[in-house]
Amino acid sequence: MLKGKIVFEEHIAIEETLGRAKAFAGDSGHWEDFSKSILDIGEQRIELMDKNGIDFSILSNNSPGIQGLVDKEEAILISKKANDKMAEAVAKYPNRYGAFAALPMQDPDSASMELTRCIKDLGFYGALVNSFTQKNIEKSAIYYDIPEYRSFWATVSELNVPFYLHPRMQLESYAPIYDGHPWLKSAPWGFAVDTSIHALRMCGSGMFEDFPNLKIILGHLGEHIPYDLWRIDARMKFSPRGYRGNRPLGEYFLNNFLVTTSGNFNDPAFKCCLDVLGVDKIFFSTDYPFENMEDACYWFDNTQVIDENERLKIGRTNAIDLFNLNFLNE
């Protein structure tokens, strides 16, 4: 077992965001146990971390969380409450927990202000946002590549912190292709489809020309993109079809995106990511409690796709470098 692992797609909920997570449990029968696990940010979670060789966990609010609130003022209020709750856990266990900011993306200026507060006042390590945001009406989906969010990205760039783009359940009104097949909308398929499109929109929006230092993190071994990156560039070279980037899309992805192993503990997919991205841009994470922490760690500790030096980089030292966690080596 690799000791001292660092993970950072690790979810918590507060009472105001817990209910919307129930859809992820589906008909599994595990809602009661799941709800207890995602509300816990104390000794129970730390005991599980210790059992599996995890030294440090960066917490984030559950999906869809703040992004599922249609009222802007409610989103601002609940995001602050979620962040303050995580800050309490970090203050109590500073050597075991860090946090990503939950943000009210319903309003770019408010999101910028809350991110700044979390980084400068609370010592957070970046932000995790659950894909698109609803605003004003339930049947709405706002993606962050549009010009209205350039001021927000300027703040992220100035603060120089990573932004984790995490999936959420697709809206029925935006996904008629899933009619009659509700199982497709969530983690088995729809999560990656929606989040990968969001990421590709970012690559084609020009935002990485404006802010070349942005670092966007994707979970689940890159939401299918590494596997398809060559084909995306090849077909767009043949016919750009309105693509607005100044460089091939693949260059933006390779320059500005990082990926974690969260929720995708599969050797062939892992090897593909290593071949496409390289060991320096891949990070271990578990996706707890949406995934079993023991399963994630057993796979990572035993996979033969990597050697022991690569295991140490992906499991620990890459994260220390990205988040400046040198205090963990003291």
In the chain, where the domains are located: 5-329
CA pair distance 132, 112, nearest whole angstrom: 16
Cβ contacts of residue 240 below 8 Å, gap of 6+? none
- Based on DSSP, count helices (H) and strands (E) in the chain, helices before strands: 15, 10
DSSP per-residue string spanning 268-324: HHHHHHHHHH-GGGEE----TTTS-HHHHHHHHHH-SSS-HHHHHIIIIIHHHHHHT
Mean pLDDT of 95-117: 98
Q: What would the two tokens of residue 67 be?
A: 């992004």
pLDDT, position 178: 86
Query: What values do phi and psi take at 99, rounded to 5?
Result: -150, 150
- Tell me the pLDDT band of 32, cut-offs 50, 70 and 90: confident
Q: What would the two tokens of residue 84 be?
A: 């303050």
In the numeric block, the tokens 């040198």 are attached to 326
Lowest mean pLDDT among 39-43, 92-96, 153-157, 162-166: 39-43
Cβ atoms of residues 260 and 283 within 8 Å: yes
Q: Is the pLDDT of residue 62 over 70?
A: yes
Cβ contacts of residue 256 below 8 Å, gap of 6+? 203, 208, 212, 214, 215, 216
Q: Is the pLDDT of residue 322 over 70?
A: yes
Q: What is the fold of 5-329? A: TIM Barrel (3.20.20)
Q: What is the overall mean pLDDT for the chain?
A: 95
In the numeric block, the tokens 């084909």 are attached to 231
pLDDT, position 169: 84
| Torsion from C-alpha of 200, 206, 210, 212, nearest 10 degrees | 40
pLDDT, position 174: 76
C-alpha distance from residue 327 to each of 94, 96, 248, 273, 318 (Å): 10, 11, 39, 29, 14
160-197 pLDDT, tens per residue?
A: 999 999 999 888 777 788 888 888 888 889 899 999 99
Secondary structure element (H or E) that encloses residue 129, with its range: strand 127-129
Beginning with the edge strand found earlier in the chain, give each strand of the sheet holding 163-165 in spatial order: 127-129, 163-165, 216-218, 257-260, 282-283
Q: Please identify every residue annotated as catalytic.
A: 287
